Amino acid sequence: MPRGKFTNHKGRNRRFTNPEELEEERRREEQQKKWRQKRGESSEESEDEAPGDKKISEESGSDSDSEETTDDEDVKAKGVSNLIEIENPNRVQKKTKKLATLDVADLESKPQLSRREREEVEKQKAQAHYQKLHAEGKTDQARADLARLAIIKQQREEAKKRREEEQKEKENAAKEKTAQTKKALGKK
């Protein structure tokens, strides 16, 4: 009986292959390879080899052979593509570049920006240009702002003059009143 609520049944029915079975399977594969080699089916054998072994055998071959072969010959046709000749414009074939043919200028050039990034940079430049023109007073909005500012200044100056005149009138009225009260009381 398990001790907790939850039991895990994953480890109960594990079966491991016997080493004898693995050895027998390996011997069968070797026999099939030998049989294919005797029949001359070398293409299947090259598929069974590891990709690293294939690269080593190609590199050990002469350099003139590797230069004469084209990319189209190296690419193996998959499915019915070798039977039907259709050009797919969306298919991109990877072309290997040799180190000697790579341009240093291509590596050093700044990376191309995406459409959104380009639009963002253009937007920032346009905003900075507009701010510069606005500060110089060359935009319509700047002219309107300056005109509004001039009107406000003029209104404030008029209001200040009116307040000063009203203040003087109040002071004069206060002086006259005090003068009348003194006169009425008989003081000088």
Q: Evaluate if pTM is beyond 0.75.
A: no
- pLDDT tens for 98-111 read 777 776 666 666 67
Burial 138-176 (b: 16+ CB within 10 A, else e): eeeeeeeeeeeeeeeeeeeeeeeeeeeeeeeeeeeeeee
- pLDDT tens for 75-127 read 666 677 677 667 777 877 777 777 777 766 666 666 788 999 999 999 999 99
**Choice among 15-29, 98-112, 167-181 with the minimum mean pLDDT:** 98-112
pLDDT of residue 88: 75
Percent pLDDT > 90 in the chain is 37
Instruction: Name the helix (H) or strand (E) containing 166.
Output: helix 140-185
- pLDDT tens for 144-171 read 999 999 999 999 999 999 999 999 999 9
Rg (CA), the chain: 48
pLDDT of residue 68: 46
Residue 39 scores a pLDDT above 50: yes
Angle between helix 140-185 and helix 115-136 axes, rounded to 10 deg: 40
Confidence of residue 183 (pLDDT cuts 50, 70, 90): confident
Phi–psi pair at 118, nearest 5 degrees: -60, -45
Q: Classify the phi-psi angles of 137: left when phi > 0, otherwise alpha if psi is within -120 to 50, otherwise beta.
A: left
Burial 68-78 (b: 16+ CB within 10 A, else e): eeeeeeeeeee
Phi–psi pair at 81, nearest 5 degrees: -65, -25
Q: How far apart are the first and last CA of the chain?
A: 123
